[in-house]
Amino acid sequence: MALKSPPQSGFTLIEVMVALAIFALAAVAALQAASGHISGLSSLQDKTYAQYVASNRLAELALQRSWPISDNKTGEAMMGDQRWRWQQQVTETVTPNVVAVTVSVGRAGDEGEAIQLVSYLRKPVSKTESSVAPQ
């Protein structure tokens, strides 16, 4: 009489290898998605800081009340523990005493620009002009 062995249960080696390959592909896809998300956040943060630098420069120009506004002026500013470079360009408009000021901002040391912001500024009214009432 021959002894019968109990039936074996479990996975074969091929089934285990296929399962590991599927898990590895899923893990790589998850890492790529997380990496893309993190780099997107970094880019968004840079654009936000550049927007702040450009807005601050335009606010400075509006508060200085000097005329005419310098064209092709450049400078640097600190924002978010990083150094940013800005350049302003002034363009005449069809409206007298109104100019379009474009401020381009990028990281200091980098070639590209992160953002451009345009604002329209008018010539400040002097005290003698404001005291004269129109007839």
53-90 tens-digit pLDDT: 999 999 998 888 787 888 888 888 998 888 999 999 99
| pLDDT confidence of residue 129 | 59
Instruction: Please classify residue 16 by burial: count the beta carbons closer than 10 Å to its beta carbon, then call 0-12 exposed, 13-18 middle and 19+ buried.
Output: exposed
Q: Is residue 26 part of a domain?
A: yes
| pLDDT confidence of residue 86 | 92
| Under-50 pLDDT residues of the chain | none
Q: Is residue 133 part of a domain?
A: no
Q: Is residue 41 part of a domain?
A: yes
Whether omega for the bond prior to residue 134 falls within 30 degrees of 0, making it cis, is no
Q: How many domains does the chain divide into?
A: 1
Q: Is residue 6 part of a domain?
A: no
Q: Is the pTM of this model over 0.75?
A: no
Q: Is residue 135 part of a domain?
A: no
| pLDDT confidence of residue 120 | 92
Sheet containing 73-79, strands listed edge to edge, beginning at the edge strand earlier in sequence: 73-79, 82-92, 98-107, 115-122
Q: Is residue 39 part of a domain?
A: yes
Q: Is residue 4 part of a domain?
A: no
Q: Is residue 67 part of a domain?
A: yes
Domain that holds residue 85: 13-122
